[in-house]
Amino acid sequence: MSEIAATAIAASCASCHDCGLLAQLPASSHAEACCPRCGAELHERKPRSLERTLALVIAAIVCYVPANLLPVMTVTSLGKTESDTIFSGVVYMLEHGMWPLAIVLFTASIFVPMMKLGLLSFLLISVHRRSSWRPVERTRMYRLTEAIGRWSMVDIYVVTILVALVRLGNLATIEAGAGAVFFGAVVVITMLAAESFDPRIIWDRSDMREP
């Protein structure tokens, strides 16, 4: 394997989003081009990547507030009703000595969504400021964001299973709360945001600064 000192965009080529084939783009820059192997539309970069990612990150932050304030589930047991938010669920586990579980839920439901939103915002700001700071590390941050997103779904599944299992009429029932709906929205929206971000933009900005 040897390196050529150039990028695909500089050689007016584009990698197909679907099959990864490197294809030459037509000379007239605005003509639509298709991948010769699989027929997908070719783009040098994901179209409107920054705008889309920014819009989705903002939407996720908006949903994140009710996701944490509203209860994710309501437990009714012998006439007594108790509501749990994401945070109080973790605290409850800690108080009852179930610390391995508390760690799993803290990581999946609190740490991962916050880290995802933090990293995506950081990447958006750094790209917007045309920063050339540590592109390798920023690309790694992006890969991390992409990989961890799905693990936040744990809480949604826990609620689903508890709702299905605990339905004993007057004895005990568990119902999903509105917080769970918003939390599910945060997971889906951040996954879409990570998918619409194009890490090659990080490199475009730092390539331009190089002499």
Site string for another protein, 32-61 (x = CB under 8 A): -----xxxx---------------------
Could you say whether residue 142 binds another protein (CB under 8 A)? yes
Residue with tokens 């081009």: 33
Burial 55-71 (b: 16+ CB within 10 A, else e): ebbebbeebbeebbebb
CA torsion angle 113 115 118 123 (round to 10): -110
Give the shortest CB-81-to-another protein separation in angstroms: 15
Give the shortest CB-178-to-another protein separation in angstroms: 8
Residue with tokens 């509501």: 83
Q: Which two tokens stand for residue 66?
A: 């009710």
The neighbouring-strand residues paired with 34 are 41
Q: Which two tokens stand for residue 117?
A: 């939103």
The neighbouring-strand residues paired with 74 are 83, 175
Given 25, 59, 111, 195, the residue binding another protein (CB under 8 A): 195
Given 20, 36, 47, 118, the residue binding another protein (CB under 8 A): 20
Give the nearer residue to another protein in terms of CB position, either 69 or 147. 147
Could you say whether residue 150 binds another protein (CB under 8 A)? yes
Give the shortest CB-158-to-another protein separation in angstroms: 5
Given 18, 41, 51, 82, the residue binding another protein (CB under 8 A): 18
Residue with tokens 């070719």: 42
The neighbouring-strand residues paired with 83 are 74
Q: Compute the radius of gyration of the chain from its Cα atoms.
A: 22
Give the shortest CB-70-to-another protein separation in angstroms: 12
Could you say whether residue 81 binds another protein (CB under 8 A)? no
Could you say whether residue 98 binds another protein (CB under 8 A)? yes
Residue with tokens 């179930």: 98
> Which among 14, 32, 34 is positioned nearest to 24, based on CA atoms?
14
Could you say whether residue 158 binds another protein (CB under 8 A)? yes
Residues within the interface to another protein (CB under 8 A): 1-4, 6-9, 11, 13, 15, 18-22, 37-40, 93, 96, 98, 101, 104-105, 108, 135-136, 139-140, 142-143, 150-151, 153-168, 171-172, 175-176, 180-181, 184-185, 188, 191, 195, 199-200, 202-204
